[in-house]
């Protein structure tokens, strides 16, 4: 090899220097003495460190200047400390500058005759980082879209199966069980269904994919039942009718759900990472709430899951509504059958007696001479049986007239005291036969804007009820004026009824005593309540077994 001249070496170094300065990376070479040996021009542009500071060759001062430009200076500090602790190991950190750029900082040890130097290389990777972020965003969108498509496909298949299962039975318990099994198989790890009954939410179904936790879920429902208020979101969803999606059920969310430490412990044992709570709506009415809870780390409910849950809830609500209508129809059929049975019995009894009386009358008429007095007694008895049949038919007609849309009141000025007096006169013989003494307490007149025929039926039914069950004991009938209306009180001292039976007294076809002993179809007091309600009034009942019964009717003078 030929001898390299000084001039050739100088020229070669110049070419290297040009290439050194032409690179896009900033380079800083620090010698074994921690002084800056050399640097290139891009260093100043990439790092923003002033030339004068670099030219002073004080590496510690350059470090301090770099710290001032960074959002997280501790990252650079970690690289410096690592270089000191492990001088033979490369380092790498990505720095975030205050001007928004990203700079990759790498260092490499260089062994030399006088010790180990270190080359610090600073690369502006802002565009690369943005490209990576854009790539990650697009990949995330692609994954989301793919998940949505898969969820939609799965949801459509799930809903098709759910529709078949929910439509296969009109019995509520069966429908609820099938709904729970379906949900924990494909849509949730555990689920709850709460339906409104008698003004309160009632836990009707709970299911868990883990058989070991089903008992705990049952305990949760008994210990902490759903409520309209309180911290649990079930009542809120029922009240608003709007679904609730909770993608991440973290500690902060759970804090707002539980009522005490025991409640929190149970929820933690069951596990909850994501939740969907949707209303069950049918024909514009919220019937209840369906809650779906995921306890798996990999399952996080999204909008597609919410749409599936809402459609499931809609179909389930229709199934529940149909089941309720079916049960009501069955109850109506049973009620009809009971009514026909009672009506046929009640009508047959006086009809049979009437036939016997008429046969006897016919026999007597054929005798010569005819005993007129005996014949009159039998005819009167026959007339009594026809009156009884007429009263039964009248009750049936009363109930028919009370059907929705049929009851029409013809209001006019009516003197309640005069009306009561007229009714009492009609019952004069019935009172005498029963042995009950009637005490009347009436003002001279008490006029209100009422329907005369309806009010007449109210007084007739209450007085006949008192005679029927009074067992010959005294009866008191009182009319008095109260603020804004009139009060009618009928008090007997007969068989009475218990406090537990008070709610049943006014129900249709309800009889608190033996039909064989007292007869009747259980319609009289029901008719009274309906007619009083139609007038905007109210009726109250009280009594004790063997202590008699007391019925109080309050009527406003004018319609509401």
Handedness of CA 239, 240, 242, 247 (dihedral sign): negative
The CATH number assigned to the domain with range 158-321 reads 3.30.450.40
- Beta-bridged to residue 488, according to DSSP, are 479, 553
Residue 501: pLDDT above 90?
no
pLDDT tens track for 255-303: 766 667 787 788 888 888 899 999 999 888 899 999 999 988 877 888 8
CATH 1.10.287.130: which residues of the chain? 328-400
Most confident of 43-47, 341-345, 363-367, 375-379: 43-47
pLDDT number for residue 485: 95
pLDDT number for residue 225: 83
Residues 6+ apart with CB under 8 A from 122: 25, 26, 27, 28, 43, 46, 47, 103, 104, 105
Q: Does the bond joining 369 to the residue before it have cis omega, within 30 degrees of 0?
A: yes
| DSSP element (H, E) containing 416 | helix 416-426
Look at 127 and 519; give whichever has higher pLDDT: 127
pLDDT number for residue 474: 94
- Beta-bridged to residue 123, according to DSSP, are 104
Position 510 confidence tier, pLDDT thresholds 50, 70, 90 = low
The CATH number assigned to the domain with range 328-400 reads 1.10.287.130
Query: Do 277 and 234 form a contact (C-beta atoms < 8 A)?
Result: yes
DSSP state, residue 70: B
CA atoms within 13 A on the CB side of 43: 23
Q: Tell me how far CA of residue 32 lies from CA of 62, 78, 112, in angstroms.
A: 16, 19, 9
- Radius of gyration in angstroms for the set of CA atoms belonging to the chain, rounded to a whole number: 46
pLDDT tens track for 381-427: 667 667 666 665 665 655 555 554 456 788 999 999 999 999 898 88
Tell me the average pLDDT across 165-176. Answer: 73
pLDDT number for residue 192: 92
Q: What is the per-residue DSSP string for 270-308?
A: H--SEEEEEEEEETTEEEEEEEEEE--TT----HHHHHH
Query: For residues 518 and 260, what is the distance between their CA atoms, to the nearest angstrom?
Result: 56
Query: Do 71 and 96 form a contact (C-beta atoms < 8 A)?
Result: yes
Query: For residues 278 and 246, what is the distance between their CA atoms, to the nearest angstrom?
Result: 11
Tell me the average pLDDT across 527-543. Answer: 90
Position 1 confidence tier, pLDDT thresholds 50, 70, 90 = very low
Q: Reduce the DSSP state of residue 508 to 3 states and report it.
A: coil
Cβ atoms within 10 A of the Cβ of 387, count?
12
Residues 6+ apart with CB under 8 A from 543: 496, 497, 498, 502, 549, 550
* CA end-to-end span of the chain: 123
- CATH architecture of residue range(s) 409-556: 2-Layer Sandwich (3.30)
CATH 3.30.450.20: which residues of the chain? 14-124
Query: For residues 49 and 501, what is the distance between their CA atoms, to the nearest angstrom?
Result: 94
CATH 3.30.565.10: which residues of the chain? 409-556
**Percent residues over pLDDT 90 in the chain:** 19
Q: How far is CA 452 from the centre of its chain?
A: 46
pLDDT number for residue 515: 47
pLDDT number for residue 459: 92
CATH superfamily of 14-124: PAS domain (3.30.450.20)
- Measured in residues, the chain has a length of 560
Q: What is the per-residue DSSP string for 334-387?
A: HHHHHHHHHHHHHHHHHHHHHHHHHHHHHHHHTSSS--HHHHHHHHHHHHHHHH
């Amino acid at each position: 090899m030929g001898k390299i001249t000084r001039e050739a070496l100088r020229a070669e170094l110049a070419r290297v220097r040009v290439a050194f300065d032409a690179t896009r990376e900033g380079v800083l070479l620090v010698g074994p003495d921690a002084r800056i040996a050399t640097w290139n021009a891009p260093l100043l542009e990439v790092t923003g460190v002033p030339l004068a500071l670099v030219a002073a060759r004080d590496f510690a001062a350059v470090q301090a200047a770099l710290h001032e430009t960074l959002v997280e200076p501790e990252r650079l500090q970690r690289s410096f400390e690592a270089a000191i602790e492990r001088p033979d190991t490369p380092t790498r950190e990505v720095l975030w500058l205050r001007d928004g750029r990203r700079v990759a900082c790498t260092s490499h040890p260089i062994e030399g005759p006088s010790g180990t130097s270190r080359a610090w290389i600073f690369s502006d990777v802002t565009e690369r980082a943005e490209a990576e972020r854009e790539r990650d965003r697009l990949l995330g969108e692609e994954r989301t879209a793919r998940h949505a498509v898969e969820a939609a496909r799965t949801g459509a298949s799930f809903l098709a199966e759910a529709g078949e299962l929910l439509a296969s039975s009109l019995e509520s318990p069966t429908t609820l069980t099938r709904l729970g099994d379906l949900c924990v198989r494909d849509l949730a790890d555990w689920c709850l269904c709460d339906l409104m009954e008698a003004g309160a939410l009632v836990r009707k179904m709970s299911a868990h994919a883990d058989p070991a936790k089903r008992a705990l879920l049952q305990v949760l429902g008994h210990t902490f039942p759903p409520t309209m208020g309180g911290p649990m979101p079930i009542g809120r969803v029922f009240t608003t009718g709007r679904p609730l999606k909770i993608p991440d059920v973290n500690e902060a969310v759970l804090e707002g759900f539980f009522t005490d430490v025991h409640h929190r412990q149970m929820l933690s044992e069951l596990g909850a990472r994501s939740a969907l709570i949707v209303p069950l709506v049918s024909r514009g009415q919220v019937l209840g709430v369906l809650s779906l809870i995921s306890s798996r780390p990999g399952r996080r409910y999204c909008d597609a899951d919410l749409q599936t849950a809402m459609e499931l809830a809609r179909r389930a609500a229709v199934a529940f509504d149909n089941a309720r209508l079916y049960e009501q129809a069955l109850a109506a059929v049973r009620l009809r059958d009971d009514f026909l049975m009672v009506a046929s019995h009640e009508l047959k009894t006086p009809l049979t007696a009437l036939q016997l009386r008429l046969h006897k009358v016919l026999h007597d008429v054929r005798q010569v001479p005819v005993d007129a007095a005996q014949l009159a007694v039998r005819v009167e008895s026959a007339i009594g049986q026809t009156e009884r049949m007429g009263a039964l038919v009248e009750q049936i007609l009363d109930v028919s007239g009370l059907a929705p849309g049929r009851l029409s009141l013809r209001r006019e000025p009516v003197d309640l005291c005069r009306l009561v007096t007229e009714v009492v006169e009609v019952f004069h013989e019935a009172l005498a036969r029963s042995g009950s003494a009637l005490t009347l307490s009436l003002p001279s007149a008490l006029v209100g804007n009422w329907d005369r025929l309806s009010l007449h039926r109210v007084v007739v039914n209450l007085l006949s009820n008192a005679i029927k069950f009074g067992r010959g004991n005294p009866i008191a009938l009182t009319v008095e004026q109260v603020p804004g209306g009139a009060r009618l009180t009928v008090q007997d001292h007969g068989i009475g009824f218990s406090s537990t039976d008070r709610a049943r007294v006014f129900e249709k076809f309800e009889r608190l005593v033996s039909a064989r002993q007292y007869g009747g179809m259980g319609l009289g007091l029901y008719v009274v309540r309906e007619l009083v309600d139609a007038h905007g009034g109210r009726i109250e009942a009280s009594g004790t077994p063997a202590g008699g019964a007391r019925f109080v009717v309050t009527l406003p003078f004018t319609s509401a």
